[in-house]
Structure 1
């Protein structure tokens, strides 16, 4: 059954018009009154059955059916903090990270970043990536659309991570991981498993991965100083988008 993102309050029996994006999708699929669809709000673990009641030139009305407490989200909440790869690779990364179940994505500009964004251009890119994440959720069955944070620099993000750790109780402190080729870096799962066994509540994991060429030595040193733990995916040097997705797969699948 086709699934559509509908970021409005839903309750059984309600009649509502779908948002413009979902309405266009329904029209492209040539659905007709009486056809069944599934709606999700993007911020909960559940979804709703619904049926099309009216088809107009520019609007689609549906009636909301039963709430379905469907849970398809990973047990771990992993937040990807990534030096933005250039061209369409960031779109691809957002799509695949969403399919894997990432909780949020923080796009970063670093010393070696090819993609540079600011102002209105950055805002438009973030809105575009949000739409990519929505489409991925509609396809894969995810009911929570990952948050795409505003573009920031590494220097802006690191203090916010330190503050989150300091503000959290010891048992619930987020775990920061840094993808690194440095000697002594542990395998991703080896760095996470001890924390998972120490507490009944799984910690939020913030995973920092660099852009093409990786983080600079100074940036990596700053990340380590901020308390991030170096981890490795093995001896091969992966592309920026491949490395980030490999790490997410190790944590979420």
Structure 2
């Protein structure tokens, strides 16, 4: 049975034969969690379509040094670019939504304030949350073998996000009261921006304005889904229809 090679993320430009001293957090992970030793192999990814095969060169009390042996192109990105607008929900649910959406192939995530989300619009309060979310994104990429790191945007108001326009995009809001389904959308879509509400959903006024900003109401089925379930169902459906799920 082939031995699984651990993966770690390094936010640097990498080249063959380069010797790198791992950060404190990576050193702890490799040394204490993975319990690796000198000569053990590690796979590095750095937000490119390459993976870098490396070997532990030296382990001491303070750090670990690795050497880059070779690189290989490995593009696991979907042909469908997905930008998720996720209305803020409780910590565990928000963390879960971010983790699973990254594993399923989302490219960007923007946390949003809405009428029912019960979060104050104070961006300074979200600096620690943003760091936590970015760590969740990296961890998800590490687990699912994505090499490009999806972007977590700064939180903004739902209408500010909705009224933005991007070239060649299709905008979707998932609504259990809608009549259209994903199968009724155009056959070829390369860039989708879609909106998921919090536990309380959207108010009637919000839904009216969201549709005025060009979002197409789409239903996922007859049942009302929890926000974290809706994220998984929506991205899965989009990837089956337009992406790389077969």
| TM-score, with length taken from structure 1 | 0.88
Aligned to 2:242: none
What is the CA-CA distance between 1:195 and the residue it aligns to?
A: 4.7
After superposition, give the CA deviation of every residue in 1:133-178 in whole Å (9 maximum; x if it has no partner): 111111111111110111111122123x23x2xxx3xxxx111111
SS state at 2:138 partner:
helix
Aligned to 2:152: 148
The unaligned stretches of length 5 or more in structure 1 are 197-201
Tell me if structure 2 keeps the 8 A contact 1:36–1:50: yes
Q: Does 1:190 align with 2:184?
A: yes
SS state at 2:54 partner:
strand
The unaligned stretches of length 5 or more in structure 2 are 240-244
Aligned to 1:250: 237
Partners of 2:159 and 2:232 in 1: CA distance: 23
Q: Aligned pairs, how many?
A: 235
| TM-score, with length taken from structure 2 | 0.90
Report 1:90-169 matches (<5 A).
90-116=94-120, 118-159=122-163, 161-162=164-165, 164=166, 168=167
Partners of 1:13 and 1:208 in 2: CA distance: 45
Match for residue 38 of structure 2 among 25, 33, 41: 33
Aligned to 1:174: 169
Partners of 1:189 and 1:45 in 2: CA distance: 31
In structure 2, the CA distance between the partners of 1:183 and 1:177, relative to structure 1 (3 Å rule), is closer
Runs of 4+ in 1 over 6 A off after TM superposition: none
SS state at 1:88 partner:
helix
After superposition, give the CA deviation of every residue in 1:11-46 in whole Å (9 maximum; x if it has no partner): 11111112333222111211111100000012x222
Greater helix share, 1 or 2?
1
Partners of 1:57 and 1:120 in 2: CA distance: 36
Partners of 2:181 and 2:71 in 1: CA distance: 41
Match for residue 210 of structure 1 among 197, 202, 221: 197
The CA RMSD measured in Å over matched residues stands at 1.5
Partners of 1:125 and 1:25 in 2: CA distance: 22
After superposition, give the CA deviation of every residue in 1:180-225 in whole Å (9 maximum; x if it has no partner): 12342x212432xx251xxxxx521111111112111111111111
Structure 1 stretch displaced more, 116-125 or 225-234: 116-125
